[in-house]
Amino acid sequence: MRSDEAVPARAAVQGAFACAWCHSINSAVTADWCSCVSAKPSLTCESCGRCFCKATVDWKLAFFTSSAAAVYRERTGKLQRAFKSSSAAQANGLARPVILVVDDDKIVHVVAKRVLAEFGGTVLHATDGQAAFELAEQTLPDLVITDALLPKLDGRELSLLLKTNDATRHCKVAVITALYKGIRYRSEAAQRYLVDAYAEKPVTATTLRKIATELLPDHASFVVAEPAGETTAAGALQ
Amino acid sequence: MTAIDRAAFAELEELAGDDKDFLNEILMTYIEQVDVVMGSARDALAAGDTVAFIRAVHTLNGSSRNVGAVDVARLCAAIEHDARLDPAAASHAALRQLVEPTRLACEAFQQHLRA
């Protein structure tokens, strides 16, 4: 079935468009977006209920290049969400658990890469808070281990961002710090920044194993056995 | 090895096990990082950016503790502490104090790498 290629352009400029199939006039701003499994969904006709995903390329191009600004914004948002969704799908291809290590000290990354490999998943690295957040949105890590003092975005603020973002709120976050020591800071980290575990530097192999074992209990069987007393019950770091 | 805390270094050796390359990678990373971080601290002073200066010294503190370079770590902690209390303490004079301890630590690690 071919659509009527002459109709959409002028009508859409005024926030209205004619259905590609039944030619009924619809509002481009209020019409529902279709639920087709596609990175480029289209609008649904209020009369016949059909979308124009299967209209000709010229018809769709004419519609979107001349439609109202609000439709453009919505369209852009949908494409961004589709991108994030495809990133999430890509994240599903990573070996789990995915552990993101954030520190501007390279030594920490070398040690973490070695130790966290024992958990059998994927270890990712970032050196500032902003890059870490962007990487987390794309890869949906199971655990984020971050320094507190970081360039661009503080590690505790990174935790709050992750915990208040729909896509990443499931991430467990551990903050390791040489700066914010003491019970007051631990309590603030848990309550205000929603941090799951808190530890003090230096970042040793023992510290990293302990955090990962406690916050990734489903993967703890991957851990190389520790002598008795080396690990503690979940929540002990909080 | 002078200037190096045996306990911290022993933990790294234990983690490395028979893998000498891993330990060497850590030591090489430290030696390289000292240059980079000292450069960042100097740039921060030139730009009058106290926050960046503190962050650079803080990074050197953390990596020094990780490899057992305790003298460097202690000095970094003191400089960082003073600079937080008084931005005027973030100075070239403070940074110069780090030159000799970092040289000794890097020299000790280079000896280990050559051994």
pLDDT band at A69, cuts 50/70/90?
A: low
Give the model confidence (pLDDT) of A79-110 as tens digits. 555 555 555 555 668 898 999 999 999 999 99
Relative to beta strand A25-27, strand A16-18 is antiparallel
Q: Which of A107, A203, A204 sits opposite B30 (nearest CB)?
A: A107
Give the model confidence (pLDDT) of A99-142 as tens digits. 999 999 999 999 999 999 999 999 999 999 999 999 999 899 99
Q: Do B62 and A201 touch (CB under 8 A)?
A: yes
3-state SS assignment for residue A141 = coil
Measuring CA to CA, which residue among A109, A99, A111 is closest to residue B22?
A111
Return d(Cα B107, Cα B115) in angstroms, integer.
12
Instruction: Find tokens 């890469």 and name the residue.
Output: A113
Give the model confidence (pLDDT) of A13-57 as tens digits. 456 777 888 888 877 777 777 766 554 667 888 888 888 777 776
Measuring CA to CA, which residue among A144, A117, A115 is closest to residue A131?
A144
* Lowest-confidence segment of A61-65, A75-79, B11-15, B55-59 by average pLDDT: A75-79
Is residue B43 less than 8 Å (CB to CB) from chain A? no
pTM of the model: 0.68
Res. A11: pLDDT tops 90? no
Q: Do A202 and B58 touch (CB under 8 A)?
A: no
* Chain B contact set for A206 (CB, 8 A): 11
Q: Which residue has the higher pLDDT, A46 or A191?
A: A191
pLDDT score at A217:
82
- ipTM of the prediction: 0.90
3-state SS assignment for residue A24 = coil
pLDDT band at A75, cuts 50/70/90?
A: low
3-state SS assignment for residue A110 = helix
